[in-house]
Amino acid sequence: MEKHIVVIPGDGIGKEITTAAVKVLKKIDEIYHIGLTFEYQYAGGTAYDKFGTPLPENTIEAAKKASAVLFGAVGGTQWDSVEPALRPEKAVLGLRKALGLYVNLRPVKVQKELCEYSPLKPEIVTGSDILIVRELIGGIYFGDKCESEIHNGVERAWDLENYSVPEVERITRFAMEAARKRKNKVTSVDKSNVLATSRLWRRTVTKIAAQNPDILVDNLYVDNCAMQLAIRPTQFDVIVTGNLFGDILSDEAAVLGGSIGMMPSASIGELTSLYEPIHGSAPDIAGKGIANPLATILSSAMLLRYSLEEESAACAVEKAVDAALEEGWRTPDLYKDGFKKADTNTMTEVVLQYIK
């Protein structure tokens, strides 16, 4: 049966990194005969320049029909002055909402070869293996907002956060199931000492925890969690949190392994799912051919695992990435003396060679 992948390169390094991941998927298809087909769609600033909108209807329709979506990244300084509703980032948010991608899985596993690149000492970071389960279509990202109004004679702006019990219940249940396949521990992260939404979050998590007595559940305030990630990352198994906290904590956790260019993600929905690196369009290195493609290649492994249920193929991609690192290949974000320097293309070719 045909498995149709909609590829959305986006902006900046998006084209370079999705090209790399598609090469990997094509090689996998030659070996595993999955029957992959590919279709390209526009989103982000590139779509805005071409069609006047960052998220064309065609892109949404194609994504809805796809077996899975592979997404690069969007955004760039050239679109900073575009009106907020048409900013490139609206494409990511719009797609997440349109596809109902309520769970964002951001695994942080520090490869042993990369421990020495971590900003943390090897003895602190070694053994870190965290799954961040981020709620993706609620919270302050999607609440009412006001870009500008005059209040008591001064200009102000506001964003409202709201979470409903069913929204928290479904993400918490997902986190429990994920923990059951790992080390049976869930840390829920909130700011319930200050925020009403966080108090509802914590009450709801506590209720779901009582229904899952085999899972050890604890709670942390987000400020403490940010600190704990830096001082004892190995204490975490699954972290479940809201949209904004998950965004921030996942960038922090990503550098445990030395570079944000290594961290994949899966955004899971009921219709289809979307796979993208957690980093952005990296305008500072776009077009230079030096972006680390591994986060996107590892996102394609998650696509094989979660959307296509091709576990062996997913493992083959992950093993090939490990092998490339073990052999000493490094893109500039991770390069040090004594290693083999690879640009985006070279790193991709090396990974392709190791796919079995």
Ligand X SMILES: CC(C)[C@H](C(=O)O)[C@@H](O)C(=O)O
Ligand Y SMILES: NC(=O)c1ccc[n+]([C@@H]2O[C@H](COP(=O)([O-])OP(=O)(O)OC[C@H]3O[C@@H](n4cnc5c(N)ncnc54)[C@H](O)[C@@H]3O)[C@@H](O)[C@H]2O)c1
Which residues bind to ligand X, rule: CB under 6 A?
89, 92-93, 247, 278
163 is catalytic: no
Determine if residue 76 is labeled as part of a ligand binding site. Answer: yes
User: Which 8-state DSSP code applies to residue 5?
Assistant: E
| Closest to 203 in 3D by CA, of 216, 217, 214, 185 | 217
User: Given the complex with ligand X, which of 276 and 318 has the nearer CB atom?
Assistant: 276
The two tokens of residue 140 are 């302050």
Residue 279 contact, options ligand X, ligand Y, Mg ion, none, Cβ 5-8 Å cut-off depending on partner type: ligand Y
- Residue 92: CB atoms within 10 Å: 25
d(CA 254, CA 107): 9
Contacting Mg ion (CB under 5 A), which of 237, 247, 318, 333? 247
Determine if residue 83 is labeled as part of a ligand binding site. Answer: yes
User: Given the complex with Mg ion, which of 124 and 226 has the nearer CB atom?
Assistant: 226
Point out the residue whose Cβ comes nearest to ligand X: 89
How far apart are CB 90 and ligand X at their closest, in Å?
A: 8
How far apart are CB 91 and ligand X at their closest, in Å?
A: 9
| Catalytic hit among 49, 129, 159, 251 | 251
User: Given the complex with ligand X, which of 276 and 333 has the nearer CB atom?
Assistant: 276
d(CA 256, CA 109): 9
Give the DSSP H or E segment for 279: none
Within 8 A by CB and 6+ apart from 242, the residues are 134, 135, 138, 139, 163, 190, 197, 198, 201
**SS3 state of residue 134:** strand
d(CA 327, CA 354): 11
Residue 93 contact, options Mg ion, ligand X, ligand Y, none, Cβ 5-8 Å cut-off depending on partner type: ligand X
The two tokens of residue 34 are 């999955």
Residues in 272-291 at the binding interface with ligand Y, rule: CB under 6 A: 276, 279-285, 291
Determine if residue 223 is labeled as part of a ligand binding site. Answer: yes
How far apart are CB 261 and ligand Y at their closest, in Å?
A: 3
Residue 295 contact, options Mg ion, ligand Y, ligand X, none, Cβ 5-8 Å cut-off depending on partner type: ligand Y
| Catalytic hit among 29, 237, 247, 333 | 247
| Catalytic hit among 117, 141, 275, 306 | 141
CA dist 111 → 89, 141, 284 (Å): 30, 32, 26
Amino acid found at 157: A
191 is catalytic: yes
251 is catalytic: yes
| Closest to 298 in 3D by CA, of 78, 55, 114 | 114
Q: Give residue for tokens 């840390």.
A: 187
Amino acid found at 91: A
How far apart are CB 78 and ligand Y at their closest, in Å?
A: 10
Determine if residue 287 is labeled as part of a ligand binding site. Answer: yes
Backbone angles phi, psi at 188, to 5 degrees: -95, 135
Backbone angles phi, psi at 61, to 5 degrees: -60, -45
User: Given the complex with ligand Y, which of 21 and 176 has the nearer CB atom?
Assistant: 21
- Indicate if the alpha-carbon torsion angle 23, 25, 28, 34 is positive or negative: negative
247 is catalytic: yes
11 is catalytic: no
How far apart are CB 132 and Mg ion at their closest, in Å?
A: 11
Which region, judged by CB under 6 A, interacts with ligand Y, from 30-38, 56-64, 67-75, 298-306?
67-75
Q: Write out the residues near ligand Y by the rule CB under 6 A.
A: 13, 73-76, 89, 92, 260-261, 276, 279-285, 291-292, 295, 333
**Residues making contact with Mg ion (CB under 5 A):** 247
Give the annotated binding-site residues for Mg(2+).
223, 247, 251
From the annotation, which residues make up the binding site for NAD(+)? 76-89, 280-292
Enzyme catalytic residues: 141, 191, 223, 247, 251
